[in-house]
Structure 1
Amino acid sequence: MATLAPLPLSPNTADVVSAVRALVPELREAQAESDKLARPPEHIVAKLREAGAYRLTIPKEYGGLGADMKTWMQTVTEIGRGDAGVAWAVTLVASCNWALSSFFPKHVVNEVFSKPGASVAGIFTGRALTARPVEGGIHIEKGMWFFNSGVYEAGWDLLGVPMYDDKGEETGPGIALVPMSEVKLLNDWNTSGIRGSGSTNVSAENLFIPHDRIIPLEPMAEGSQPRTYEGPAPRVAFMPLMANILTYPLLGASLHMIERFMETLPRRDIKLTPYTKAAEAPVTHLQIGEATAKIETARLLIEDGVREMDEWSRTSEYMPMMLRAKIRRDTAFAERLMWEGVDILATASGGSFSWLSNVANRLWQDVKVGTMHPLVSVPSNFELYGRMAAGVEPPLMLV
């Protein structure tokens, strides 16, 4: 069977990867339920918590795994082989757990992670947001934040807010930590793919946020924000990490698409042609060859970015800007390649592919929706890298 080899395990945290790999059949069986709920089913969340998926990036002193990027990738990719939407929620929660423990004051980190089972979701840009500076912090009169992935599994939310100086002038974007009890979930996630992520919009009104629960976004991106913890992942550059982690659920779905195509191939013919067995048709061979080449190339690009991030996390220097832009470029290109590979296999699947009950149709939808995140936009990331290569300074926060 022409399928891609499993990812080799990272020896230091192989248990979590093995544990979620064993859950793949259950994730697939529960996907209809996650689609109906538009969020991960509770029994799946419980299994993933037990496996350690929600503790990936929490520091070890709080019972977390303190995992490196390779383990993060392997874990989420395996979950994505079962349900890309659920994997999307896991990788976004992992990123917010990472951001909180990496950049927020130690006493704030203690407040959140001293409670067993705590996890954090977040969305770093707001919409229709009305805020003002007040003594000791900021006051949110009202605001909305779109696509808050993983919010149903979290007790805290990281929300994009404005920051102000002593004169009350806005100084730039910040990220605020808010108890989930003060956030309203709008339960409006109704999409054609990645449904299991539960990426609902959220809102808040009449909300006070103290200064010590707000950190500036730009220094996080440029590498000047002080780090709270110095484990493997905390030293990784912010923007490459935030983009690269979005590929892991889609890589899992793409690998599942190959697996599914090869499993069903012996039962297919090609209508209105002499081929009663699609597996014997040269056009099928060409499609398999091209699709798997694209998906395998995507995986290599993703893994190369993971390797670079892990290697730089072991140094005292912040990753150079051009390398950060290269990882962003390669991440976006990997997303395009995965979509193209999955789409080729969908085209080769015949008319039965159009049934909504067809597993391949679901995978196709998941990968397409996942590629629409602005952080992995191909034109934007190509332009970013190209302008830097041409000697034109980019906005720092984008790199």
Structure 2
Amino acid sequence: MVNREDLIRRAADLVPVLRERAELTEELRQIPQATLDDFHSSGILRAAQPTRFGGYDIDYPVVLDIAAELGRGCGSTAWCYGIWAAHNWAVGMFPEKAQEEYWSDSVDVLSSTSLDPSRAEVTSIKGGYQLSGRWSFSSGCDASAWAILAGMGPGGLIWLLVHQSDYTIEDNWFVSGLKGTGSKDVLVHEVFVPEYRVVSVADLRRGQSPGRTIHKTLNFRIPLQTMFAYSLAAPIVGMAQGALEAFEELMGSRVAYTTGEKMIENPLVHIRLSEAEAEVNSARLIMADDGREVVAKAKIKETLSLMERARVRRNQAYVAKLSVRAVDRLFEASGGHALFDSSPMQRFHRDAHAASHHFGLAWEGAAEEYGRIRLGLEPKNPARL
């Protein structure tokens, strides 16, 4: 029986080869097939997937631990892992017929997402919806057979599960960071999406999705946002850890050209390293603590309060903020050699900043909502929680 420790160990075993492939991943602007094969053969993508459809249904925080581990090797790869694993958890929250259709061909099927409904056109018709529009930043879409796309339905925000035969991908991912994620645009024109492939985001946020009664396990009682955005933050924690390890290796070989002093003996290096490690460790501890609390609540079928959900959302953004701060601290002290394409430091620096720009990790919005609720005010945007 596969357990949490098995999957984390398998992820750790992949880190050296992910480091070797990091440059190729950027050149391809998508995850290499060899890495996808490694993911599938190791089983790590099925960590939180329902057992009914070939998954392990291990408590969701294992996905965060795996993503953080992979981030030590390649930021783009860890990002896509977190995205794909989160989506195979989220599909388990859709109506039963949608899940059966999604996993009908393979337990290793993947889905991308794009969750900005601003350019979506959703029209209610008999049996479902007609969907058109453009969705951006669909990470991992090239390897995915499905996409979860957001739109506004008659009762509010909805997610629609769309097969790859019903959309096209526009190759416009030419960016400075997370180059290997292939986060391209998805285009849909007047496609019919049956009602059974649609789910209410309000239900997902409350942990009251159809999947709750289908699977009857704690993973499908977890309110979506308490873990979903952590799937974005965890790779950044891993990138920060990778930068820490790269910095140690770099300092071990550098000598100050004016004095001949070994940089490994420089007290300023010691201070930078110490502060950065404290930031990375703090980020890990916050993430782990939230994971334990969310799982504990789900285990006893207790719903997180609005305040608790707001605190977790704030923490997700803060974990990303701490991790980026650690990367910046190390990069600033890495010297000119860290600017070369061959240096992992510059890649961690670019990738961590790119990842932190995701709207799900925006610090100001998450912090504001927590502060409002803490002071007894209504949330400004409940959809954030």
TM-score normalised to the size of structure 1? 0.91
Counterpart in the other structure of 1:168: none
Partner of 1:202: 186
2:305 aligned to which of 288, 312, 320: 320
Which of the numbers 215, 218, 233 marks the counterpart of 1:247?
A: 233
In the TM superposition, what whole-angstrom CA distance separates every residue of 1:116-157 from its partner, at most 9, and x where no partner exists?
Answer: 2222221222343233222222212x3111111122222111
Question: Does 1:260 pair with 2:243?
Answer: no
Structure 1's 380 and 237: CA in aligned 2 closer, same or farther, altered over 3 A?
A: same
Q: CA deviation at 1:89?
A: 0.9
Are positions 1:179 and 2:163 aligned together?
Answer: yes
- Cα distance in structure 1, aligned partners of 2:159 and 2:112: 12
Report if the CA contact (8 A) 1:222-1:397 is conserved. no
**Alignment partner of 1:357 is 2:342:** yes
Contact 1:332 1:378 in 2 (8 A): yes
The answer to whether the 8 A contact 1:193-1:365 is kept is yes
Q: Which of 103, 107, 127 is matched with 1:136 structurally?
A: 127
Mapped contact 1:139–1:207 kept (Cα < 8 A):
yes
Q: For residue 4 of structure 1, what is the aligned residue in structure 2?
A: none
| Aligned amino acid, residue 205 of structure 2 | A
Give runs of aligned pairs for residues 1-399 of structure 1, distance below 5 A. 12-102=3-93, 104-116=94-106, 117-140=108-131, 142-164=132-154, 171-226=155-210, 227=212, 228-272=214-258, 274=259, 276-394=261-379, 395-399=381-385
8 Å Cα contact 2:120-2:150 kept in structure 1: no
Helix, strand or coil at the partner of 1:57: coil
Whole-Å separation in 1 of the counterparts to 2:260 and 2:26: 36
Q: How many residues are paired up?
A: 381
CA distance in 2, matches of 1:327, 1:131: 31
- Cα deviations by residue, 1:188-236 (Å, 9 ceiling, x for unpaired): 1122222222211111112111112111112221334342322232221
Following the alignment from structure 2 to structure 1, what is the Cα–Cα distance between the partners of residues 13 and 327?
24
Worse-matched range after superposition: 105-114 or 83-92:
105-114
- Partner amino acid, structure 2, of 1:246: L
Q: Deviations over 1:230-275 (max 9, x none)?
A: 2232221211212211111111111111111111212213455x46
Letter aligned with residue 263 of structure 2 = A
Q: CA offsets per residue over residues 1-50 of structure 1, 9 Å max, x none?
A: xxxxxxxxx98332222222111111111111110111100111011111
Which moves more between the two structures, 111-120 or 153-162?
111-120
Relative to its length, the structure with more helix (as a share) is 2
* Worse-matched range after superposition: 10-19 or 293-302: 10-19
- Which SS does the other structure have where 1:391 is aligned? coil
Would the aligned equivalents of 1:178 and 1:209 in 2 still touch at CA under 8 Å? yes
Does the 8 Å contact 2:70/2:77 carry over to 1? yes
Q: Which amino acid aligns with 2:363?
A: V
Which secondary structure does the structure 1 equivalent of 2:120 belong to?
strand
| Kept after mapping to 1: 8 A contact 2:97/2:196 | no
Q: Aligned partner of 1:98: which letter?
A: W
Give aligned-pair identity as a percent.
Answer: 27
Q: Is the 8 A contact 1:97 1:121 kept in 2?
A: no
Please list every run of 5 or more consecutive structure 2 residues that lacks an aligned counterpart in the other structure: none
TM-score by length of 2: 0.94
Given that 1:126 and 1:146 are in contact with CA atoms closer than 8 Å, whether structure 2 keeps it comes out as no
Question: Are the aligned partners of 2:207 and 2:222 in contact in 1 as well (CA < 8 Å)?
Answer: no
Cα distance in 2, alignment partners of residues 22 and 52 from structure 1:
13
Secondary structure of 1:145 counterpart: strand
Q: Could you tell me whether the CA contact under 8 Å between 1:119 and 1:156 is conserved in 2?
A: yes
